[in-house]
Structure 1
Amino acid sequence: MLKVTSLPSDDKMCGWYHTSPSRTPRPGHTGETHARWAVVGAGFTGLAAARQLALNFPDDDIVLVDAQEVGFGTSGRNAGFAIDLPHDIGADDYIGDIPTAKTTLKLNLLGQTILRDLVDEHGIDCHMTASGKYQAAVEDRGVAVLDAYRRGLDKLGQQYEVIEGAALPEHIGTSFYRKALFTPGTVLVQPSALVKGLADCLPPNVTLYEGTAITDVEYGEKIVLAHRHGRITADQLVLANNAFGMRFGFLERTMLPVFLYASLTRPLTNAEQAQLGGKPFWGVIPADPFGSTLRRTHDNRILVRNSFSFNPDGRPKTSYLSRFADRHRLSFERRFPMLPEVEFDYTWSGSLALAQNHKGFFGQLAPNVYGALCCNGLGITRGTVTGTLLADWLANRRTAQRGELIDFLLATSGPNKAPPEPFLSMGVNATLWWGQRKAGLES
């Protein structure tokens, strides 16, 4: 059997998790279980794959396992932006090849639609709001990025609004930024609440096991997933565990586990809300990829997200939290000097699975083994749509629209191979250090 050498173990103070509705986790797996399908990873991708497999194969049993509690792991730790537009940081105008960008837009919009329909159908309390997003800049480099992206959006035929700095306080309260590009199609969510809600409305032929970390895998005619308290034997395996897919023996040295750090304030008082001004609910992403992401939440907290680390084993380093909380405090004070008494309630980390060529994997990994892996920081929409389409492909269900998207994903080259250690860590850490240093006031 293949030994799984690293298991998820996220830090304890994710603000999204602690401020989302509580739920009773499903029991962990024990004993021996046989199923037609097993899905590993109950984040956005795994939940979507398990749900669609259940709908496509209503007579089959689907087992969905997660090493941690649903909503506590990676999918519940992002900034909560379900983004519609492509944003190719490798292209001069951040759009790149127009046919590819148009298909990417279709993928993201389908991911949004799937989630919106599920939230509406099941009444999931995740504060989903079609509020758009602001991409904001304060330095010349950042303003140049906004101008380049605007030109790309023109070529793609997408709506946007340019907002100069003097008008921004009416939108986001702060006068820190010089310019912003507002695009209306982004949907904001409370990510942990959304993941929890999706898990609690799975079809009846899906059995979810939480707190079940797979430690050994045997591949063959049957797939055997072993853990401390039992074994799951499946005819077919779907991997939806992002960078941890490498620990299952696939796509080795292709996905980079990069961690981002976030802090969430206490709720603002009525007086502080009046002092801040602006809209009651908004999201800001930075013009510079190494800058700060901001959210004002439904319960009047402020989220600050910045700072990166490369953790090759896919596990967080809790020693980084206090250091990066200090950076969050500095970023907060620069942007919100009118809120000097507002402290952070929570600071946490969350991982991204990134590829050097910004591509993900979709399709067959080995006989009886399939995967939708490497979301490159777009897990909410991309994870949802790729998990759904993978299950449709496995069932040979192809509508005209979904067939086009499945073919596009299957034709993608996938994440490219990274250099071996120690050169990999040296290169990634140098890139992260230089990027954060170069970001300047955008961070």
Structure 2
Amino acid sequence: MKVDALPIEDNTNGWSAILPARIPKASLNGDVSADWLVVGAGYAGLAAARRLAELRPENSVVLLEALAIGEGASGRNSGFAIDVPHNVGSSMEELEQAAHYKRLLRAGADWLEQLMQTQNIDCQWARKGKYHCAVSPRLAEKVLSVYEHELKSQCIDYQVLNREQLRDRLGTSYFHAGIYTPSDGLLNPAALVRGLADSLPPNVRLFENTPVLDLEEGTYFVAKTPLGIVRAKKVVLATNVFLPKFGYYTQRMFPIASFATLTSPLSKPQRMRIGDPEEWGVTPVNALVGATMRYTHDHRILIRQHFHYAPGYAIPASVRDRVRSEHKRVFDARFPELSDAKMEHFWAGTINITRNGAPAWGQVAPKVFAAGGCNGVGVVKQTIAGRLLAEYASGESSLLVKDMMALGAPSSLPSRPFLDLGVRGYLALERWKGRSEY
């Protein structure tokens, strides 16, 4: 199967830009053989490679990443390690699977935290919790009430906060109400991915800047790269939005680009204007319309807002320019006291969406396994998906593996151009439903 689309490095990721420089590991040059080939070194791929190496220490694992570690989608998200069920758009599929997601997300978050500690990964990790906020009273009543019900039914700790309480904690009075869950974590995603990659077990060989151009099946799987070949007995595909390019989950997911802006560190006078708050993270009741925000440990503010359908994975410059201007308006509406703050970094990243919210996970062909379809907020989701995929591929069974299976499979999508019309209509409808959250 020839792969006709690859991730592109545009050197704009703000999370990696604020980190010390890192020298990538070498690209593949020549031919190698392995028991396992893992394609994609995001959260799922790193977790799968690590777990395979732990479960099968006598096996060799080759991990290929098309870009430098931390420069792909995994290093471009908002930096939330969310360990409670969470809705992204107006749909509530994940909340309907709350019992399964509770166990999965808690296990994923706990494993990540354990790895940060044992491997000395410095990613600015903090269990500061998450504020799930609504701007309008209508959506506060409609969405937050459902969210509260599910948290209560799952015995998850939370607090309901009004506008004044949120203002004291966040430094903005923009939100009508919110629900705070204290167990969620905040981090620099690029630093986390770097740390996970640089601490892999010795029987994992990682090659960066090594995209797979062709994957053929025979006595062995043969993955062709620009300067080499990998022959492997089994394959794990952790390419998320690019899974259909390998021939799997075609017409089961579609790519969406999201955008982020990160300010320069606020000065002490600027911080005092908003009450000099502690580090925090905000997710909106409808992330397809509202703004996800972070106030970081080094006093930066992140705005992540706007989703763009990107069927060809490319984002026109005109869209980038328009969204960059939108982010400034979003920022000013929430923090009018900080009109002099500098918007230092702006970037885009691509996620994939499935129609019914189910992940793309499991065995997709003889000796081929895949993990993708995160539907957003993928740090913990994809970490546990990758780990459990390795266990499943190794013949292990557990309650968590059964939880993954219980989430179902992505439902089918129409062919293009009907898909294009449907997705654009879906995004337009979400924007209309959540227009009060902008």
**Which TM-score band applies after superposition, normalised by the shorter structure?**
over 0.9
**1:19 CA drift (Å):** 1.2
Name the residue aligned to 1:421: 416
Aligned equivalents of 1:410, 1:342: Cα separation in 2: 46
Q: Which amino acid aligns with 2:81?
A: A
Pick the aligned partner of 2:403 from 408, 415, 437: 408
- Note the residue ranges of structure 1 that are not aligned, 5 or more in a row: none
For 1:430, the equivalent position in structure 2 comes to 425
Q: Which moved more, 1:275-284 or 1:193-202?
A: 275-284
Range that drifts further, 6-15 or 381-390: 6-15
Q: Calculate the TM-score normalised by the size of structure 1.
A: 0.95
Moved more, 279-288 or 105-114: 279-288
User: What is the alpha-carbon distance in structure 1 between the residues aligned to residue 383 and residue 94 of structure 2?
Assistant: 22
The equivalent position to 1:131 in structure 2, one of 128, 131, 147, is 128
- 1:122 maps to 119
Residues 72/327 of structure 1: CA separation in 2 closer, same or farther (3 Å cut): same
Distance 1:7 1:274 in 2: 45
Shift of 1:118: 0.6
Residue by residue over 1:57-104, the C-alpha shift from the partner in whole angstroms, topping out at 9 and shown as x without a partner, is 11211100011111000000111111111125689877654xx42121
Contact in 2 for aligned 1:306/1:328 (Cα 8 Å): yes
1:146, CA displacement in angstroms?
A: 1.3
Name 1:151's counterpart in structure 2.
Answer: 149
Distance 2:188 2:151 in 1: 27
> Which residue, out of 138, 141, 147, partners 2:138?
141
In structure 2, what is the Cα distance between the partners aligned to 1:158 and 1:417?
33
Alignment of 1:360-399 (within 5 A): 360-398=359-397
Displacement after TM superposition at 1:8 (Å): 0.7
Instruction: Find the residue that maps to 2:337 and give its secondary structure.
Output: coil
CA distance in 2 between counterparts of 1:164 and 1:24 reads: 47
The corresponding residue for 2:13 is 14
Distance, in Å, in 1 between the alignment partners of 2:91 and 2:392 is 34
Alignment match, 1:342: 341
Pick from 272, 285, 288: which aligns with 2:286? 288
Alignment-mate amino acid for residue 332 of structure 1: F
Aligned equivalents of 1:235 and 1:112: distance in 2? 31
1:313: how far off? Answer: 2.6
1:64 corresponding residue in structure 2: 63
CA distance in 1, matches of 2:223, 2:155: 47
- After TM superposition, the structure 1 = structure 2 runs for residues 266-277 of structure 1, keeping only pairs within 5 Å, are 266-277=264-275
* Residue 299 (structure 2) aligns with: 300
- Deviation (angstroms), 1:278: 4.8
Give 3-state SS (helix, strand or coil) of 1:397's partner: coil
Q: 1:39 to 1:392 in 2, by over 3 A?
A: same
CA distance 1:46–1:318, shift in 2 (3 Å)? farther
Residue 195 of structure 2 is aligned with which of 191, 194, 197? 197
Please list the CA deviations of residues 343-380 of structure 1 after superposition, one character each: whole Å capped at 9, or x if unmatched: 21111111111100000122211112111121111311
Question: Measured at CA, do residues 89 and 351 of structure 1 come closer, stay the same or move farther in structure 2, by a change above 3 Å?
Answer: closer
Q: Does the Cα contact within 8 Å between 1:17 and 1:76 map onto a contact in 2?
A: yes
Question: Within 1, Cα distance between the matches of 2:403 and 2:151?
Answer: 21
Q: Which residue is 1:85 aligned to?
A: 84
Deviation track 1:14-67 (CA, whole Å, cap 9, x = no partner) reads 111111232110111111111111000000000000011111111211100011
C-alpha spacing 1:96/1:134, structure 2 compared with 1 (3 Å): closer
Q: TM-score, normalised by structure 2?
A: 0.96
> Quick check: 2:137–2:176 contact (8 Å CA) kept in 1?
no
Describe the shift of the 1:270–1:151 C-alpha distance in structure 2 as closer, same or farther (beyond 3 A). same
Q: Which residue of structure 1 lines up, in the alignment, with residue 220 of structure 2? A: 222
Q: 1:68 is aligned with what amino acid?
A: L
TM-superposition CA deviations, 1:136-170 (whole Å, max 9, x none): 11213321211221122222222211111122221
Q: Distance in 2 between matches of 1:82 and 1:210?
A: 25
Q: Secondary structure at the match of 2:249?
A: coil
- State the alpha-carbon separation in 2 of the partners of residues 313 and 192 from structure 1: 24
Residue type of the partner of 2:426?
Answer: T
SS across alignment from 2:195: helix
Quick one: distance in 2 between partners of 1:239 and 1:360? Answer: 14
Distance in 1 (CA, whole Å) between partners of 2:20 and 2:347 is: 18
Give the 3 Å change call, closer, same or farther, for CA 296–55 of structure 1 in structure 2: same
Q: Distance in 1 between matches of 2:326 and 2:89?
A: 27
Q: Say whether residues 1:177 and 2:175 are aligned partners.
A: yes
Q: Displacement, 1:318? A: 4.1
Aligned with 2:168: secondary structure? helix
Q: Which position in structure 2 is the counterpart of 1:28?
A: 27
SS in 2 for 1:358: coil
Cα pair 1:257 1:351 within 8 Å, conserved:
yes
Q: Which amino acid aligns with 1:129?
A: A
Q: After superposing the two structures, state which structure 1 stretch, 2-11 or 56-65, moved more.
A: 2-11
Q: CA RMSD in A?
A: 1.7
Q: CA deviation at 1:393?
A: 1.8
Tell me whether 433-442 or 140-149 shows the greater mean CA deviation: 433-442
The yes-or-no answer on 1:239 pairing with 2:234 is no
| Residue of structure 1 equivalent to 2:102 | 105
* 84-93 vs 364-373, greater mean Cα deviation: 84-93
**Percent identity between the aligned chains?**
37
